[in-house]
Amino acid sequence: MRGKILGNRYRIINRIGEGGMAYVYLAKDEKLGRKVAIKVLHEHMETNADIRKRFQMEAQAVSALDHPNIVKIYDFSGDRSDRLWIVTEVINGENLAQFVSRFHGGWLHPALATCIVREICKALDKAHNTGIVHRDIKPENIMITKQGIVKLMDFGIAKDLGRSSMTVTGTFMGSPSYMSPEQIRGKGVDHRSDIYSLAVLYYEIVTGRLPFSGQTTHDVVMKIMEGHYTYPRFLVPTIPDRLDKIIVKGMTKDKDGRFHSIVDMGRAIDQLLFSFGFVEAHV
């Protein structure tokens, strides 16, 4: 692909990443003279109608979300193109999993973890207000730039609540360890599913472990459905009681028992941040 031009505009420089659905390339926008990232669907998936639909969904979903904590989409190949690709901003940094792995024990100080989670709340607030549920909140989908900006990315399995056709049914989508019980069942998924997943992520980055683990995906799924796990404060006694309660509430098995909205969760986190001496999460 090096040197190839896509859309008569984007010259491929080199490959910088790969996911389950696509390669990611660094490219130069010949018209504007800037570096961009291009996500190109794997060739062997281009004839799969469901996969093509998911790729198109991502382009449509994120293009409507203009927010500093969400990766920006600049261009899309169009669903009728033989090669499907999405052009996004280049993010110079690392994902949250890589960031956390640099710390001893694989966990973050509660104040730092809380600041990061609060920024993710802001991104989800924008998405939810637009009627979009992300459905795949996990450390690998959170980027932290070299400037310290938190960016939510990869809306490949997002669900547009206003358009039922925007989700692919009959498939097990998402990362099992972070999935809510209702998402595993494949029904009743709404913004509270993202709240659950974010609470699981919060748990992981302050304790260094996931609440539900197992040898197989089936083991993990069964534990999530049972809903029994060790509260964070029993793993890390120095975790503030208020932080522990935020995670436990967010991970309530019955979605009606969780925060009613990501805004409510954000408010609870703001109170926690204030106790740490922070006025704003991004500072």
Side-chain half-sphere CA neighbours of 120 within 13 A: 31
Q: In what order do the strands lie in the sheet with 142-145?
A: 93-95, 142-145, 150-152
Which tokens go with 81? Answer: 């193109």
Which tokens go with 213? Answer: 């683990």
Q: With contact defined as beta carbons under 8 Å apart, do 36 and 27 qualify?
A: yes
Alpha helices, DSSP H, located in 64-165: 96-101, 110-129
Q: Locate tokens 């494949």: which residue?
A: 186
Active-site choice (75, 136, 154, 244): 136
Which tokens go with 192? Answer: 């509270």
Q: Is the dihedral of CA 166, 177, 67, 88 positive or negative?
A: negative
DSSP per residue, 17-82 = EE-SSEEEEEEEETTTTEEEEEEEE-GGGTT-HHHHHHHHHHHHHHHT---TTB--EEEE--TTSS
Q: With contact defined as beta carbons under 8 Å apart, do 236 and 230 qualify?
A: no
Question: Can 79 be counted among the known catalytic residues?
Answer: no
Beta bridge partners, 255, equal none
State the Cα–Cα distance between residues 7 and 160, nearest whole angstrom. 27
Distance of CA 94 to CAs 3, 180, 249, Å? 25, 26, 29
Helix (H) / strand (E) containing 14: strand 10-18
* Residues classed as catalytic: 136
